[in-house]
């Protein structure tokens, strides 16, 4: 029994020693594990603090396959992707800032050109208004001239008709004068024959002696009367001839006047036609200028609206540039590879 007790005490001491060794080993392992965990936690914490400070260049050095190593790998991936994202944001922000600056500059140039165009259109619109007034006045003057030309043509036609009537009257006078001259010629012939008969009667009275003396006196008176009739007829014929020549000269002058009047009527008619065409063209030109003025006014309104839109676009581009600049300032706090 004493040997059994000694064996039991020996086994107890062995078990106690094994337990002590196991406890010491477990405490060592636990201490090592705690130090590794603390180191991994500190590394993860340092990486998180660096990310919070904007430093995306830091990386953890995970070892093992435990949860903390997985966390550190996840933090490394997060830093890598976040760095890529921030780098792309920086690039895009810089591009936006550059593009917005170019847009703002282009909008400013476009705004100046639009203002110049609007100013030119205002001057053009004012000039078109003046031109419209001038063309309308020209159209009114052309219509007035057309009316006057029409009146002149009417008067010229009436004058031509009157001249033609005068020509016809002068021709009638010439014909009547010729007939009177013919009648005077007949009277002259009758006076000549009467003179011959009176001369024959005087000869026969002289042959009759005393008995024919009274008849001789009558024959002498008849002869004298026939002579005076012949002289008067000759004088009348001379006057009629002179009158006929004057009437013929007047008729030629009137005919020349009639031809001139006809030419005047034709010229006035041509002037009337031309003035009518000018009046029609002036009215059409006035309408065309009214259309052009309306189009210029519409373009001016559109240009004014375009100028307002350009100003709004310039303001938007300036705001975008400022926002891009602020974004660049924000992302510039990050340090990336």
Q: Which whole number is the average pLDDT over 63-67? A: 75
pLDDT confidence of residue 30: 65
Domains and CATH numbers, the chain: 96-331 (1.10.287.950)
pLDDT confidence of residue 33: 60
Contact by Cβ (8 Å): 108, 321: no
Mean pLDDT (the chain) is 76
Q: Which whole number is the average pLDDT over 197-207? A: 74
User: How many Å apart are CA 192 and CA 189, to the nearest integer?
Assistant: 5
Task: Go through 1-22 and write b for each residue having 16 or more CB atoms within 10 A of its CB, e for each that does not.
Answer: eeeeeeeeeeeeeeeeeeeeee
54 contact partners, CB below 8 Å, separation of at least 6: 333, 334, 335
pLDDT confidence of residue 333: 67
Closest CA to 97 of 334, 332, 335: 332
pLDDT confidence of residue 267: 77
- Token pair in block for residue 142: 């052309």
pLDDT confidence of residue 120: 76
Task: Go through 212-237 and write b for each residue having 16 or more CB atoms within 10 A of its CB, e for each that does not.
Answer: beeebeebeebbeebeebbeebeebb
Whether the predicted pLDDT of 211 surpasses 70: no
pTM (whole model) above 0.85: no
> Per-residue pLDDT tens for 52-63?
777 767 777 777
The pLDDT > 90 percentage for the chain reads 0
Q: Which whole number is the average pLDDT over 249-260? A: 76
At CB < 8 A and 24+ separation, what contacts does 19-27 make? none
Closest CA to 299 of 134, 127, 124: 124
Q: Which whole number is the average pLDDT over 16-22? A: 83
pLDDT confidence of residue 336: 61
Whether the predicted pLDDT of 334 surpasses 70: no
Whether the predicted pLDDT of 257 surpasses 80: no
């Amino acid at each position: 029994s004493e040997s059994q007790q000694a064996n039991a005490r020996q086994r107890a001491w062995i078990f106690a020693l094994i337990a002590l060794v196991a406890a010491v080993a477990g405490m060592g392992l636990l201490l090592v594990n705690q130090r590794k965990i603390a180191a991994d936690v500190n590394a993860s914490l340092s990486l998180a603090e660096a990310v919070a400070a904007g430093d995306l260049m830091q990386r953890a050095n995970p070892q093992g396959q435990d949860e903390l190593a997985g966390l550190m790998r996840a933090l490394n991936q997060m830093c890598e992707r976040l760095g890529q994202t921030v780098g792309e944001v920086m690039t895009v922000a810089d591009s936006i800032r550059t593009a917005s600056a170019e847009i703002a500059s282009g909008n400013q140039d476009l705004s100046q050109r639009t203002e110049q165009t609007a100013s030119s259109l205002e001057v053009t619109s004012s000039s078109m208004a003046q031109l419209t007034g001038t063309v309308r006045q020209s159209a009114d003057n052309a219509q007035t001239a057309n009316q006057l030309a029409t009146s002149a043509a009417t008067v010229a036609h009436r004058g031509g008709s009157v001249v033609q009537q005068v020509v016809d009257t002068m021709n009638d006078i010439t014909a009547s004068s010729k007939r009177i001259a013919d009648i005077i010629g007949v009277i002259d012939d009758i006076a000549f024959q009467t003179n011959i008969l009176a001369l024959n009667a005087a000869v026969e009275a002289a042959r009759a002696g005393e008995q024919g003396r009274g008849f001789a006196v009558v024959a002498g008176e008849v002869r004298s009367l026939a002579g005076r009739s012949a002289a008067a007829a000759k004088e009348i014929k001379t006057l009629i001839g002179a009158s006929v020549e004057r009437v013929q000269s007047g008729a030629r002058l009137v005919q020349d006047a009639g031809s001139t009047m006809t030419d005047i009527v034709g010229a006035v008619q041509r002037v009337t036609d031309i003035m009518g065409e000018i009046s029609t063209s002036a009215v059409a030109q006035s309408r065309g200028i009214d259309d052009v003025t309306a189009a210029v006014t519409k373009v001016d309104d559109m240009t004014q609206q375009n100028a307002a839109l350009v100003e709004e676009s310039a303001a938007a581009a300036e705001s975008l540039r400022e926002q891009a600049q602020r974004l660049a300032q924000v992302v510039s706090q990050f340090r990336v590879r």
